[in-house]
């Protein structure tokens, strides 16, 4: 059965490396695998990722040796289920502002007894082709990575309750939306935003928990192309 490369790297105290896509491209997913990345993340909160496209993107990621992950547009069970049933093995839930939303995210991502994910027989579940249902469900639970994105100023008042929720593996920030929630739109590098992020990070680390960037490093596909293009033009343009 499929193994989550990021979970494996975490178990070996290694860092995993990935690429983020804000647009669908099976070719870039294939190239990312050839380049040696560990995972690919699809930004489905802001990008045009439909269910049928995700099926093909996950299929190519599997063939390329990449673990497919996604930031979902919202954390309703039905939405997250569609991603998991395609074969997504890591879910980032946006705007986790309190324990209730954290629990909703955690429950949607795993089968009973660790959650309430519905059982389907799509490609994410090998089209039902496994010897043991219980063994498959345990393996799936162990290999899905659940990431809570903390990107609202209200998080600071609710962080202890959020951290007490079982089933959240990692936490991520989101400077742009933090800035907006602080009345500082378009200023993700404002000192108040940076201070807020530092407070959240320190409290998470103090509880023995990890931020996503503690164990995962990723680059945006658009930046990889643009940075390479700018360097090329700088070196060759007369």
Task: Parse the chain into domains and list their residue ranges.
Answer: 5-236
CA dihedral 42, 46, 47, 50 (to 10 degrees): 90
What CATH superfamily classification does 5-236 receive?
A: Phosphoenolpyruvate-binding domains (3.20.20.60)
Are residues 71 and 45 in contact, defined by beta-carbon separation less than 8 angstroms?
yes
How does DSSP assign 45-83, residue by residue? TTS---HHHHHHHHHHHHHTTPEEEEE-S---HHHHHHH
46, 77, 95, 190: which one is catalytic? Answer: 46
- Provide the pLDDT for residue 238: 61
pLDDT by 10s per residue, the chain, length 238: 999 999 999 999 999 999 999 999 999 999 999 999 999 999 999 999 998 999 999 999 999 999 999 999 999 999 999 999 999 999 999 999 999 999 999 999 999 999 999 999 889 999 999 999 999 999 999 999 999 999 999 999 999 999 999 999 999 999 999 999 999 999 999 999 999 999 999 999 999 999 999 999 999 999 999 999 999 998 987 6
Judge contact between 167 and 114, C-beta under 8 A: yes
Contact 24, 48 (CB under 8 A): yes
Active site (annotated) includes residue 46: yes
Question: In the structure encoding, which two tokens stand for residue 66, read together?
Answer: 């990449």
């Amino acid at each position: 059965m499929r193994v989550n490369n990021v979970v494996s790297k975490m178990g070996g105290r290694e860092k995993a490396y990935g690429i983020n896509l804000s647009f669908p491209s099976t070719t870039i997913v294939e190239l990312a695998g050839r380049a040696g990345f560990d995972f690919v993340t699809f930004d489905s909160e802001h990008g045009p990722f439909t269910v049928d496209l995700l099926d093909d993107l996950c299929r190519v990621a599997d063939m390329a040796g990449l673990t497919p992950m996604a930031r979902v547009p919202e954390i309703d069970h039905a939405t997250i289920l569609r991603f998991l049933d395609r074969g997504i093995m890591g879910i980032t839930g946006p705007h986790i502002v309190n324990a209730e939303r954290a629990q909703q995210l955690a429950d949607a991502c795993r089968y009973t007894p660790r959650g309430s994910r519905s059982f389907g027989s799509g490609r994410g579940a090998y089209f039902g082709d496994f010897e043991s249902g219980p063994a498959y469900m345990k393996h799936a639970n162990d290999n899905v990575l659940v990431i809570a994105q903390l990107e609202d100023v209200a998080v600071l008042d609710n962080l202890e309750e959020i951290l007490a929720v079982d089933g959240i593996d990692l936490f991520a920030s989101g400077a742009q939306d933090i800035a907006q929630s602080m009345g500082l739109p378009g200023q993700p590098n404002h000192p108040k935003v940076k201070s807020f992020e530092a407070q959240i990070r320190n409290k998470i680390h103090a509880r023995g928990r990890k931020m996503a960037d503690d164990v995962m490093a990723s680059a945006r596909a658009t930046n990889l192309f643009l940075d390479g293009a700018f360097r090329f033009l700088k070196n060759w343009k007369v």
